Structure 1
Amino acid sequence: MTEKLKGTTTVGVVCRDGAVLAADKRASYGNMIMSKGVTKIFRIDDHLALAGAGNVGDILSLVRLLRAESRLYRAKVGQEMSVSALATLTANVLHNTRFAPYFGWFLVAGHDVKPALYSIDMAGGLTDDKFTAAGSGMEFAFAILEAGYREGMPLEEGVKLALRAINTAMRRDVFTGDGITLVKVTPEGYIEMGRDEIEALLK
């Protein structure tokens, strides 16, 4: 059977000292909840992360490709791939496959010289953002992000804002739910927050 699990909300926020990605954990098939523990944010390298909203099989296939390309780049060039280079590579892959596309909307975040966030649609359209959202609950998430974002906000505030955005989508979008994954990418690298930390911040 072709993998058609989908339905999600992902958000990204750029802060003064890092970038944040957050997503829910629900995967749906039509009107049925198929999984309550899906991973939608992925480490591409120690300082690079990708979040995907859309078809699970397509997202996982793209993640495998990007991880391989990131390792190859490091081996050939002798340094880490930048956030903008990963975003450009992702956009190029998606554009080249637009007639048989990866069915997903992707957020690339990371930290090299500074934190950065990019949004990429399935045709390879690329935007450089300070905050963004994708997926079935994105309208609800955007309302929270628009109201709460401010330039240069510290990482702790960005984490709380991203959690509020996902939590709001979980309350209003039937395809979003079953917990939250949150990742911070800082000069120290890729850091995934634990469930207890997330629940404490939501109280």
Structure 2
Amino acid sequence: MQLEQFRELPKPGFNFDNCKRNAGLIKNGFQAPTAVKTGTTIAGIIFKDGVILGADTRATEGPIVADKNCKKIHYLAKNMYCCGAGTAADTAAITDLICSQLELHRLNTGRQVQVVVANTLLKQMLFRYQGHISAALVLGGVDRTGSYIYSIHPHGSTDKLPYTTMGSGTLAAMAVFEARWKPDMSEEEGKKLVRDAIAAGVFNDLGSGSNVDLCVIRKDSADYLRGYEYISKKGERQLDYSFKIGSTAVLETKIEQFDINEEIRFVPMDTA
């Protein structure tokens, strides 16, 4: 067998292919692609009787707050939900797709779907696209084998943990979990802990904000607490700052006339 039939291994060291590509784009008059920065704080813990998921509700578009009340905790099945960080369209699309697959699995087997099935379907889907689907997920659920929390990264790697966080506010939220989480927490203790973790992400990360959403999943029920707390309240003015006309003295008035030349050009549409 000839050696040319084998695929050539990549050379060690930094790969400059993308740098050359960007330089070529700039040379031809195109704008170089930039990295996409997303902001979110999502978290999940295991407590005595199940799992608790939490998320903020701010969706950003660059420096602009695009949605103040974005839904980031997605329904998968009656016994499991999934928090999504990253591109909002990607997280919504992939959770809807897996939700339908889980329902078909339940109808075919006639049994409650285990949480590990959802984890496997999500990680296989993300790995197939090699990270191009911008969806970092926190999966939580309860089945007949126990309570589970999974963190699922955009490239398809997963971790099974007693508590986890994802998103740009993950460091602040994880600091709260590592300091205060303990096994066999009560439901109220767990809700307070997840609320404080999301609040830490909101107050320490510009990409997170607005409300705190919680989802409590037990063995026989699930409660989606939409708008659990509004922690990032807008400041209110203490006084009325409306001044009457004439209260401010006008020292000088100067009026200039400008000639406006308007030119209309038709630019052909690029169909390449």
Same fold (TM over 0.5): yes
1:187 to 219, 224, 245: 219
- The number of aligned residues is 195
User: How far has the Cα of 1:5 moved from its partner?
Assistant: 9.1
1:38 maps to amino acid: C
> Given the alignment of the two structures, is residue 78 of structure 1 paired with residue 99 of structure 2, yes or no?
no
User: How far has the Cα of 1:158 moved from its partner?
Assistant: 1.1
Report if the CA contact (8 A) 2:210-2:230 is conserved.
no
| Counterpart residue number, 1:125 | 157
> Given the alignment of the two structures, is residue 37 of structure 1 paired with residue 72 of structure 2, yes or no?
no
Give me the TM-score of the superposition, normalised by structure 2. 0.69
Report if the CA contact (8 A) 1:13-1:158 is conserved.
yes
| Counterpart residue number, 2:83 | 51
Report if the CA contact (8 A) 1:5-1:55 is conserved.
no
Q: Which has the larger radius of gyration?
A: 2
Alignment deviations for residues 16-43 of structure 1 (CA, whole Å, 9 cap, x no partner): 1010110000000111111101000011
Mark the CA change 1:5 to 1:192 in structure 2 (over 3 Å): closer, same or farther: farther
2:98 to 66, 90, 105: 66
Aligned-residue CA RMSD (Å): 1.7
2:58 and 2:193 map into 1 onto residues whose CA distance is: 20
Q: Which structure exhibits the higher relative contact order, with contacts defined as CA atoms closer than 8 Å and separated by 6 or more residues? A: 1
1:43 and 1:109 map into 2 onto residues whose CA distance is: 10
1:16 maps to amino acid: K
Partner of 2:113: helix, strand, or coil? Answer: coil
1:119 and 1:42 map into 2 onto residues whose CA distance is: 15
1:103 to 128, 134, 142: 134
Identity value in percent? 27
Partner of 1:81: helix, strand, or coil? Answer: coil
Alignment deviations for residues 41-85 of structure 1 (CA, whole Å, 9 cap, x no partner): 011111010000000110111011111101110111111210111
Of Structure 1 and Structure 2, the greater helix share is in 1
Alignment deviations for residues 123-164 of structure 1 (CA, whole Å, 9 cap, x no partner): 110100100100010000000010010112122211110000
Of Structure 1 and Structure 2, the greater strand share is in 1
Q: Which runs of 5+ in 1 are unaligned?
A: none
Give me the TM-score of the superposition, normalised by structure 1. 0.91
Mark the CA change 1:54 to 1:194 in structure 2 (over 3 Å): closer, same or farther: closer
Alignment deviations for residues 67-126 of structure 1 (CA, whole Å, 9 cap, x no partner): 110111011111121011111111111111216x21021011011122110001011101
